[in-house]
Chains A and B, each alone.
Chain A
Amino acid sequence: MKGRFWTVIFVLVIPYIAIVALFPWYNRAEPFVFGIPFVYFWIFSWFFLTSLCMYIGWRIDPVSIRARAYKKAQQQGGK
Chain B
Amino acid sequence: MYTTLIICAIIVLISVFVSYYSRRGSVKSLDDVLTGHRSFGAFILFFVSVGEIYGIGTMLGVPGAVYSKGTNYTLWFMGYILLSYCVGYFLNPLIWRAGKKANLSTNADFFGWRFGSKGIEVLVAIVGIAFVMPWAQMNFAGLGIVIKYLGIPIDYATAVVIASIVAFLYIGIAGVRSTAWVAVMKDFLMIFAIGVGAYVAASHMPGGASAIYQGVLEQFPKHLVVDTVPWTKNVSFTLSTIVFQSVALYMIPYTFQYVYTGASEEIVRRNQIIMPLYMFMYPFVILAGFYGLLTIHGLKNPDEAFLMMLSTTIPSWVMGIIAGGMVLCAILALAVVVLPVGGLFTKNILGFFKPNASQSELVKWNRVVTASALIISVLLTLFWPQLMLGVINMSYFGIAQFFPGVVAILFWKRATKWGVGAGLAAGIICVIAFVSSGYAPYGLNKGFIAILVNIAVLLAVTYMTPVDPEAVRRCELLHEEELV
CB contacts (< 8 Å) of A61 on chain B: these are 269
1/0 per residue, CB under 8 A from B, across A44-56: the answer is 1011101100110
CB contacts (< 8 Å) of A35 on chain B: these are 208-210, 213
Inter-chain contact B225/A50, CB cutoff 8 Å = no
Given A36-B210, A36-B213, are A46 and B266 neighbors across the interface (CB < 8 Å)?
no
From the candidates B213, B235, B277, name the one contacting A37 in the complex (CB within 8 A). Answer: B213
Complex Cα gap A20–B411 (Å)? 25
In the complex, which residues 1-51 of chain A have their Cβ closer than 8 Å to any Cβ of chain B?
1, 8, 11-12, 15-16, 19-20, 23-24, 27-30, 32, 34-37, 39-40, 43-44, 46-48, 50-51
Given A27-B228, A58-B269, A67-B481, are A50 and B209 neighbors across the interface (CB < 8 Å)?
no
Complex Cα gap A68–B186 (Å)? 33
Inter-chain contact A40/B481, CB cutoff 8 Å = no
Inter-chain contact B82/A50, CB cutoff 8 Å = yes
Inter-chain contact B213/A28, CB cutoff 8 Å = no
Inter-chain contact A54/B483, CB cutoff 8 Å = no
CB contacts (< 8 Å) of B483 on chain A: these are 66-67, 70-71
In the complex, which residues 275-297 of chain B have their Cβ closer than 8 Å to any Cβ of chain A?
275-277, 279-280, 282-283, 286
Q: Which of B236-244, B306-314, B315-323, B450-458 faces chain A?
A: B236-244
From the candidates A23, A48, A50, A54, name the one contacting B238 in the complex (CB within 8 A). Answer: A23
From the candidates A12, A28, A46, A47, name the one contacting B280 in the complex (CB within 8 A). Answer: A47
CB contacts (< 8 Å) of B276 on chain A: these are 46-48, 50-51, 54
DSSP class of A's interface residues: helix, strand, loop or mixed? Answer: helix
Inter-chain contact B277/A20, CB cutoff 8 Å = no
Inter-chain contact B481/A63, CB cutoff 8 Å = yes
CB contacts (< 8 Å) of A16 on chain B: these are 83, 86, 243
Given A47-B280, A54-B276, are A39 and B225 neighbors across the interface (CB < 8 Å)?
yes
Of all chain A residues, the one with the shortest Cβ separation from B242 is A20
Complex Cα gap A57–B87 (Å)? 13
Inter-chain contact B411/A43, CB cutoff 8 Å = no
Complex Cα gap A6–B86 (Å)? 14
Given A29-B225, A54-B276, are A40 and B283 neighbors across the interface (CB < 8 Å)?
yes
The reply on B111 being an interface residue by CB < 8 A is no
Given contacts A29-B221, A32-B210, A67-B481, 6 further A-B contacts (CB under 8 A): A19-B83, A34-B210, A39-B225, A44-B282, A58-B270, A58-B273
Footprint of A on B, CB under 8 Å? 71, 75, 78-79, 82-83, 85-87, 89-90, 93, 208-210, 213-214, 217, 221, 224-226, 228, 235, 238-239, 242-243, 265-266, 269-270, 272-277, 279-280, 282-283, 286, 411, 481, 483-484
Q: List 7 A-B contacts (CB under 8 A).
A: A20-B79, A29-B225, A32-B210, A35-B208, A35-B210, A40-B286, A54-B273
**9 closest Cβ pairs, A-B complex:** A35-B210, A70-B483, A51-B276, A47-B279, A50-B276, A54-B273, A29-B224, A19-B79, A11-B89
